Amino acid sequence: MSAEPLCRPLLSACLNSPRPTPQWIFRRRGCLPFPRRLAGRRNPPCCPRLFPQKSKSSRPDGSAFMTVVVSNVEKDALWKSYHDRRPTRVPVVLATNNRVLILDPRFNRDGLDYERMFSDPQAMLLAQLRWQELARTHYHRFCDYQTGLPDKWDIGVHFQNVSEAWFFGCPVEFRPDQVPDTKPILAEDNKHSIFDTDISRPLDAGPWKRGIEFTHRMTELAQNMDFNGRPVSIQPFVPSGSDGPLTVALKLRGGDFLTDILLDPEYADRLLAFIVEAAVIRIRAFHEYWGRQISGVWFADDSIETIGTDMYVEKILPHHRRFYDAFDPEGKLPRSMHLCGDAGRHFPVIAEKLGISSFDTGFPVDLAWLRRELGPNVEIYGGVEVGLIMNGTPQQVYERARAILTCGVLDGGRFVLREANNLPPAAPEAALAAMYRAAFDFGSFT
């Protein structure tokens, strides 16, 4: 489950960009067990000016962790020092998207739902504005998002994680209190029918066509519009990443595709290549349509956690390489990858063979081991598991964040703390405050 990049400064992040500077990170995830191994402790000094001195919450509600607001000037300085490779404190991000609005009745005062959003550009416009408003007036307190209203709102179309499967013909299903999903369409007797799909003109079909239509209509609606006293600007719809060939194949074929890899390897290889070819054609078409240059290559393939590393290297890695090399044949652009789940065993070979310089992780991931294997120069995003954030106490969240930040993952100054991996709706504020507080208590480089 991945598809478009998580949330980063609204689009070198929004959907569709390589992810150099985090701010808005789109992604949704579930819940798995915690990492088993932690090693190497470190305990840098805290920052008493920004937080209360008390490091343990004596109150059941965790209110002692609640923080004062960090100013935009301080947050800008933090990110600048991080990108200049002179970090002062580990940055913190929260991977929010419009589901924290749509699926949280506290904030969804307009009665928005996904079925309406996917069919009505006006609903899409309102949902994206309300989500950004929520990020800037609520979630900014618990991470290094910008604080307060922007000079203008920059928003775009977002179809969650269903676009590639939708393009190939999978029906989109809208279930109560859930993000949209798709249903597999390829059974044994029709599995070759997928190759009849016309991938040569992606902008004329499915989500890609609708995304362009929505963008133009939203641009019309936004003219002379203000939201909370600020003008609204619509960003081009440029879905420039991919869910990954194995993940898309499983969405199309279901779990039977894993047996195809063994029992019908010729078909499996052909389908994986077809999915990658479609993604490459689509990304090039969008950049040409909007007159944009590719400045980095982003990719995901969460489903590789279901296979061993030997099989990954033999069956899947060649298709991953084909995707990256299609846009970056000389290996000069930033390359990043998102992988959820228990995929840590694959990271070292991916970094070596594909030249990945930034990994966005889910869980369970042993971040201490991962830093030792990847070295100090590879960027890692990771943090407290969402299951603990939702169901643990604030003190447990604080201690888990402490364990992560003192395990050695900070070596090299290339780590960003976040929830692992995608913030659920209605996450307890005290738990988020506890994770943010830990970044000041244990994530200082000075």
pLDDT along the chain (446 residues), means of 10: 34 30 29 30 31 42 69 96 97 97 97 98 98 96 94 97 98 96 98 98 98 99 96 97 98 98 99 99 98 96 98 99 98 96 96 98 95 98 98 98 98 97 95 96 91
Inter-residue contact 17 to 240 (CB < 8 Å): yes
Q: How far is CA 44 from the centre of its chain?
A: 28
Are the C-beta atoms of 406 and 43 separated by less than 8 Å? yes
Task: Delineate the domains of the chain, giving CATH numbers in brackets.
Answer: 63-442 (3.20.20.210)
Residue 59: burial class (beta carbons within 10 Å; 0-12, 13-18, 19+):
exposed
pLDDT at 189: 97
Q: What is the pLDDT of residue 34?
A: 28
Looking at residue 446, its pLDDT comes to: 75
CA–CA distance, 339 with 333 (Å, rounded to integer): 20
Q: What sign does the CA torsion over 214, 155, 390, 443 have?
A: positive
Residue 57: per-residue pLDDT:
45
